[in-house]
Amino acid sequence: MADATETSRKRSQVEDVNRSLYDFKMSEEGYERYADGLSTDIVRAISEKKDEPEWMLELRLKALAAYEEMEMPANWGPSIEMLDLNHISAYVSPKTKQANSWDDVPEDIKNTFERLGIPEAERESLAGVGAQYDSEIVYHNMREEVADQGVIYTTIEDALHDPELEPIVHEYFGTLIPMRDHKFAALHYAVWSGGSFVYVPEGVTLPYPLQSYFRLNAQGAGQFEHTLIIVEPGADLHFIEGCSAPKYYEANLHAGAVELFVKDHAKLRYSTIENWSKNMFNLNTKRATVGADSIMEWVSGSFGSHVSYLYPTTFLQGARSSCEFTGITFAGATQDLDTGCKVILNGPDTTASVDTKSISKDGGINTFRSSIVVGRRADRARATVSCASLMLDDISRSDTIPAMDVRNGSASVGHEATIGRISDDTILYLMSRGCSEGEARTMVVNGFADPVSKELPMEYAIEMNNLIKLEMEGAIG
Amino acid sequence: MANTIITADQTDTTALGHINVPPAQTWNYLRINDIAFDVPTPHFVGDVYARLPQLFDKVECGIGEDAVTWMAHAAGDARYVEVRAGEPHDPIVIDVDAAGCDVSDTGVLVRSGAQATIVACSHGGAAGATSASLLRVIAEREAQVTIIELVACNEDQQHLDAVGIEAAEDAHIEMRQYALGGGKVALGLCCNLAGNASRFSLDSRYLASGTDVLDVNHVIRQRGRNTRADIVTTGILADSARKTMRETIDLIHGAKFAEGSEIETVLVTGDDVVNKTLPVILCDEEDVAGNHGASIGAISPEQLGFLGSRGLGEEEAERLFARALFDDAVIHAVDDDVRQAVLARAAAVLGADVARDIAEVLGYDIREA
Amino acid sequence: MSDQLLTINGLSAGTEDKPILHNISLGIGAGETHVLMGPNGAGKSTLGHVIMGDPLYQVSEGSITFDGTDITELGPDKRSLAGIFLSYQAPVEVPGVPLYSFLRTICQMRPELKTTARKFRERVGKIADQLEIDQNFLTRELNVGFSGGEKKKIEMMQLLLLRPKLAILDETDSGLDVDALSIVSRGIEAYRKECDGALLMITHNTRILERLTVDCTHVMVHGNLVADGPASLIDDIDAHGFARFEEALAQKAEA
């Protein structure tokens, strides 16, 4: 059959692409790398290097104490036994200063981001870009016309050194995600480094998205960036976050924090395409608080990491505020991904709509976990959760664990979940029209993921479809 | 009639934690993973001979091992019933007098091809009293079992109710569960569809009002190929009632072509209600189908429009739903003592006139207390 | 001509985002039988639901008067108690509610039907026999798992129980087999005879009308009432369809 050679050619191509697209390593030579493990000395060293205000050092030390005291929940969630914090370096920095022109970024790092397509996307469709390499932001830039409107897009470190911005960071930083929220939130606050600070003034609508890209290159390291976004009344922002890392045999750790403040009559869309390598422990915390008549939208694609605990959380505080969550998670071999979201409806007439998909394959484990909490004052609040899971073989696993807690008699909450497989009839139909079985399955899975890719800007939708294709075709070999 | 070795005025109590723990837990701060009870400590009353055969020890009950152990001890003795094919029999009735702190421990073995109907009814109540019913059923090949579980206790009663079912190949289990009241009630249920093509259907209905606390755990293990589980839950929450409903469909590796579905509809009529739901589907097999749906809140606009066209406003429609729950329980009560227990509870919740009307419309006499 | 029971005057209505009915005027006298015909999607069912007061639709203009009272602002429950009955094309399933509970409750709501439980059982039993409804239906949940024919019979049962002054039967004949159709026809006849109620038959099928004496036929096209006529109009439509009405409406719109 002609198919056989076609397939084998494709297979080797896929492997080439697979290696070159995300899985390439750069030398760590000349890096500043702190000793593995955690200690007050390391925390003090990070703070000193960043020349931080005293309050930040105090916050870090308090968080470290909390981290040492707290435990991971023993009764739920994927195992993180393989994660040994004594073998993770909390701070690794390339020897370079932050640049605002790609020409000033060291060659190998620039190369990395070129291959990930970041400068190209910046030229074509973004209002600003931040690029983090291991623990530090190496590039930050924003279009002039956006800056002229008073939009601030910088690192938290820089904001802390700006006498006008420092009070704003102080006011908001760490208020939405308490350091005792869970063990890795405490860890985050102890050693955080990098990330973005975004401030959109009242009434400003950004014409293009801002994007931050996080690349973890160093082996056995942790990335702990902190993203703080404030969208003032009437403002509108689309923020995109991308992440990737090369594959190592040692565990890497990502414990970032994202705090989003959406004021009244405002809108924020937060999109993520996450493709961490499969040795990554992704214990990320994202949280938004939303004012009256405002909209918070999450679009989330999770493809990478060995273990994920990821549940973007939205507090609908203001009346008539709304939250839309669209997510997809693809768990393949060696992956145990516990993802979902939380929405707390506190304001009257608030609405939440959650739509998620998950795909499990080659022994991958998917857990969709959510909670919808309707508070006593949330009169007429409405929430719907819909999750669909696709099982692609009988060695994988897919669990759906949605919790609901409703404390208002006038609220209405709906939930539906389905778990199933691709029907043989569908595959047969597509094959009868000339598709190979592999193509047919890829087509069905892409169709399944369509509601999510529709929500992404074009180039990211293409990236996501490529990721699905890679995951699907990788299995043939 | 069950013996009991605990009393309402007893001062020594045992703290039973981890009751109704679902197979997959979630965030602890939601306080949805379990419930705790303080129960009277059973006293040793000498050797007890009437224990159940050991094969019942392996039957999982959704309420949890600690609670099962306590119930087996507090029951004092146990009742074992074996039903053989071709032998006609009356319904097996388990009557738990809640006010008298009854604790019953019953094991029913339904032999291959036999048919059995089991009714477990706990009713009444007294301040400070704790009662319990533990029912374990083993259904052999092609057995057909109907189980009706009723809890119709008063608002001052604490009650634990557990049902564990083991279903072999081609066994069919049809179950109706009614939680009609009780100050603090835990209902634990586990059905293990071990045999190929075994089936379980559950129609679970509840009404919690006043300051009732109702805590439910439904666990369906689908191990056999071609197994089917259909769970329909409808409930009404009024006043300041608190309810937790956990429903788990566990599609275990090897359960090819299994199908499990669960639907919960909750009508909330009270302003201070706490309504928690954890509908879980666990799936470790490819060629299966799992579905879940829940709707929580007021009566749907379509139903309200339809009922409106027949003359019922929203309040009347809500009253209809509450009455209908008792109507349905009376219709399926099977045994007259059980029916009277339902009617007594209906009188307490809906008023004596409505209770009498329910009885008369359905063609029964109401027995004076 | 008998007393006017229902008067619809210049009625326009629709859903939140779509107007459906335009300037409808229609009168039905007590005890009369009217037929409302029209192609699929003409708005016939909508008119039935608007008369019933279905909150899905909003009246933007005009009024509905029933039995001398303006009911335009009333909810469906009040209209039902006033004596209007709408038989649903697709009766809604109400899980958790046995048919018995439902029938008892809707009867006890009405002072003229209030009765003892025993008499109620007798009445229900008689009507069930008349419509060949198995008694065990009465303990089943309302419309849950019922076939199309069974649902329609249960609708007829409510019609005979409630004895409304006006019954609007929305496509009661659709999707029925011959046996069910004859039982439903018998139910309609019984209603006419026993209750002497007025009838508005919404249909695009004329078979069910064969056993009825029709006083007036109305034709609806694209949400407009385009013709009123005698019973003979039915035969005309049977032979020629709705094309000429549609053309006339289009010409009127152009003019």
Strands (E), A19-120: 32-33, 92-93
By Cβ distance, the residue of C101, C110, C139 closest to B320 is C101
Chain B residues in contact with C105 by the CB 8 A cut-off are: 312, 316, 319-320, 323
Buried b (16+ CB within 10 A) or exposed e, A365-375: bbbbbbbbbbb
* Residue A75, SS3 per DSSP: coil
Phi, psi (degrees; rounded to nearest 5) at A283: -115, 70
What pLDDT, on the 0 to 100 scale, is given for residue B161? 98
Contact B328, B205 (CB under 8 A): yes
Domains of chain C, by residue range, sit at 4-92+165-254
Is there a contact between B33 and A75 if contact means CB atoms under 8 Å apart? yes
Distance from CA of C126 to the nearest CA of B (A): 14
Is there a contact between B278 and A393 if contact means CB atoms under 8 Å apart? no
Is there a contact between A391 and B286 if contact means CB atoms under 8 Å apart? yes
pTM confidence score = 0.91
Residues 6+ apart with CB under 8 A from B50: B77, B78, B79, B80
What is the count of residue pairs from A and B with beta carbons less than 8 Å apart?
136
Measured distance CA(C223)–CA(C67) in Å, rounded: 25
Is there a contact between A403 and B277 if contact means CB atoms under 8 Å apart? yes
Q: What is the pLDDT along chain C (255 residues), one digit of tens a residue?
A: 447 899 999 999 999 889 999 999 999 999 999 999 998 889 999 999 999 999 999 999 999 999 999 999 999 999 999 999 999 999 999 999 999 999 999 999 999 999 999 999 999 999 999 999 998 899 999 999 999 889 999 999 999 999 999 999 998 888 788 888 888 888 999 999 888 899 999 987 777 788 788 999 999 999 999 999 998 888 888 888 888 888 888 888 887
Is there a contact between B324 and C86 if contact means CB atoms under 8 Å apart? no
Interfacial C residues in 87-106 facing B (CB < 8 Å): 88, 91-92, 94-98, 100-102, 104-106
- Number of Cβ within a 10 Å radius of residue A30: 9
Distance from CA of B262 to the nearest CA of A (A): 10
B354 touches chain C (CB under 8 A): no
What pLDDT, on the 0 to 100 scale, is given for residue B369? 59
Interfacial A residues in 339-378 facing B (CB < 8 Å): 369, 371, 373
> Among residues A345, A361, A65, which one has the least CA distance to residue A186?
A65
Measured distance CA(C104)–CA(C84) in Å, rounded: 18
Contact B202, B237 (CB under 8 A): no
Phi, psi (degrees; rounded to nearest 5) at C81: -65, -25
What is the DSSP-derived secondary structure letter of residue C128? H
C-chain residue closest to B316, CA distance: C105
Is there a contact between B292 and A417 if contact means CB atoms under 8 Å apart? yes
Q: How many residues does chain A have?
A: 477
Which of A362, A369, A391, A423 has the highest number of chain B CBs within 10 A, making it the mutation to test binding with B?
Answer: A391
Distance from CA of B18 to the nearest CA of C (A): 31
Chain C residues in contact with B310 by the CB 8 A cut-off are: 80, 102, 106, 158, 162
Q: What share of chain B is helix, strand, coil (3-state, %, to 5)?
A: 20, 45, 35
Low-confidence ranges of chain B (pLDDT < 50): 1-2
In this complex, whether C and B touch, counting 3 or more CB pairs under 8 angstroms, is yes
By Cβ distance, the residue of B234, B323, B328 closest to C105 is B323
What pLDDT, on the 0 to 100 scale, is given for residue C1? 41
Chain C residues in contact with B303 by the CB 8 A cut-off are: 92, 94
In this complex, whether A and C touch, counting 3 or more CB pairs under 8 angstroms, is no
Q: Using alpha carbons only, how large is chain A's radius of gyration in Å?
A: 22
The CATH H-level superfamily of C4-92+165-254 is P-loop containing nucleotide triphosphate hydrolases (3.40.50.300)
B-chain residue closest to C117, CA distance: B361
What are the distances in angstroms from CA A207 to CA A100, A117, A204, A239, A275?
A: 21, 21, 9, 11, 27
pLDDT, tens only, A147-171:
999 999 999 999 999 999 999 999 9
Q: How many residues does chain B have?
A: 369
> Among residues A320, A316, A297, A318, which one has the least CA distance to residue A373?
A316
> Among residues B248, B281, B295, which one has the least CA distance to residue A389?
B281
What pLDDT, on the 0 to 100 scale, is given for residue C197? 92
What are the distances in angstroms from CA B17 to CA A203, B131, B136, B295?
A: 54, 17, 21, 30
Buried b (16+ CB within 10 A) or exposed e, B48-79: eeeebeeebeebbbbbbebbbebbbbbbbbbb
Is there a contact between A405 and B269 if contact means CB atoms under 8 Å apart? no
Low-confidence ranges of chain A (pLDDT < 50): 1-19, 475-477
- Number of Cβ within a 10 Å radius of residue B213: 17
Write down the ipTM of this complex: 0.93
B-chain residue closest to A392, CA distance: B286
Tell whether the torsion through CA atoms of C205, C207, C212 and C214 is positive or negative. Answer: positive
